Structure 1
Amino acid sequence: MKWNNKFGKIIVFDKERISRFNLNNQTNEFLISLGLPEEAAPFLTFVKDNDIQYEGILRLTDYFEFLEPEFERYIVIGSNGSGDEIVIDNLDHCKIKLLDHEDYFSEQFMNSSIDKLANALIIYQEFIDDVLSLYGNDGFLDGKYSFEQIDQLKSKLIESDKGSISEGSVWLEEIEILIANKNEIR
């Protein structure tokens, strides 16, 4: 898998920096060779290749020093538009999770691996691109997409990573937001 030009700047990480987190080989290789986009839809931003608090790839306990040692398992790779942290869970097979900063970092499943996260970002961006090509620059924000397009998005996300649309997952929540926005506009 290679990132396409839909995401702007891609941040590839230093091998030595990544090695200190003891991630699995697949996750290490992905971060070192393919990296992460600086930002992606829906309102996600990703960390930089540095050790600066609140900016770089660090343990959650390096971001928030008041947290107990059990939170060291989480490696921060980004955040959503609400300021919740996107993390790699080092004790759960390097699954990608979203941690709710307003609920003492409670977990929400996002993807089963870093490459599944990348696929989901591409799928979601392709959904947006399709909507924009059909309905113009305001098509997405104006909710001009169809329920059929939402169903196709959901099917592609399931095909890529079945668990990504499980109950309470980040991507299922995003699908529900799209449906709610569409219903509100109707």
Structure 2
Amino acid sequence: MTIAEIKEYWSAQGQPTSTFSSIQLPDADLSSSTRQFLEEAGLPTDAAPFLSFATQDNPPYLVSTQYDFLPASFKRYVCIGSDGGGNPIVIDSLTQHILLLDHENDFVVQYMNSSIWQLAEALIAYCEFGKQTVALNGEDAFLDANFSDELFADLRLKLLTIDSAAFTENTFWAGELQNLLANREYYRTESGT
């Protein structure tokens, strides 16, 4: 996807993206591609699955400035958001990979995506899955995990195509897909369908 396509997509969802000047970005070895994304495309403030991202009022920062007790190796992580549990979503400035740091488990690293560009595409694929689920099954369908096997398979294929590395064991997106299936089973059991 292009910068314009990303911005247009989120604007159409009523979620304009937040971009940052080079002055607002922390002093880290971010690649020119990553910097370009943050300066020109940006991410929405909020996106499914329960993710929040940096805004003009809360720009990206070095994780080591927020959590000064962490080892020096954490100076390479630039925080760009968090999940619903408050775990930082970061860019690893050495690899440009997007990671989740589990703040309740000694900041253990969980892989999300190979780059911020792939994260952006994955977020859009997940948003489209939610929209299609609601369109087919009603307003509460996405929250109630009322999706078809076909929609799920389509989401899985899209995410795999976007970033196959995001589907190795214990990765964020692999875990999210497992959560979707577990939630669907739970709601089906609860409703008796």
TM above 0.5:
yes
Contact 2:24-2:59 within 8 A present in 1 as well = no
Please name the residue that 1:48 is paired with: 55
In structure 1, distance between residues paired with 2:14 and 2:42:
12
SS in 2 for 1:83: coil
Q: Does 1:169 align with 2:171?
A: yes
Q: Does 1:89 align with 2:96?
A: no
In structure 2, distance between residues paired with 1:88 and 1:8:
22
Residues 147-162 of structure 1 mapped to structure 2, 5 A cutoff: 147-162=149-164
- Segments of structure 1 that go 5 or more residues without pairing to the other structure are none
- Following superposition, the deviation at residue 7 of structure 1 comes to 5.5
Give aligned-pair identity as a percent: 38
Deviation sequence 1:10-60 (CA, Å, 0-9, x none): 10011223372220111010100101111110000001235xxxx331100
2:36 alignment partner, one of 17, 29, 42: 29
In structure 1, distance between residues paired with 2:71 and 2:36:
29
SS in 1 for 2:141: coil
Please name the residue that 2:191 is paired with: none
Q: Does 1:66 align with 2:64?
A: no
Q: Does 1:139 align with 2:138?
A: no
Contact 1:84-1:100 within 8 A present in 2 as well = yes
Please name the residue that 1:11 is paired with: 18
In structure 1, distance between residues paired with 2:144 and 2:29:
44
Please name the residue that 2:80 is paired with: 77
Shifted more, 19-28 versus 159-168: the winner is: 19-28
Say if 1:7 and 1:71 are closer, same or farther in 2 by CA, change over 3 A.
farther
After TM superposition, the runs of 4+ consecutive aligned structure 1 residues lying more than 2 A away are: 16-20
Please name the residue that 1:102 is paired with: 104
Contact 1:6-1:125 within 8 A present in 2 as well = no
Alignment RMSD: 1.3
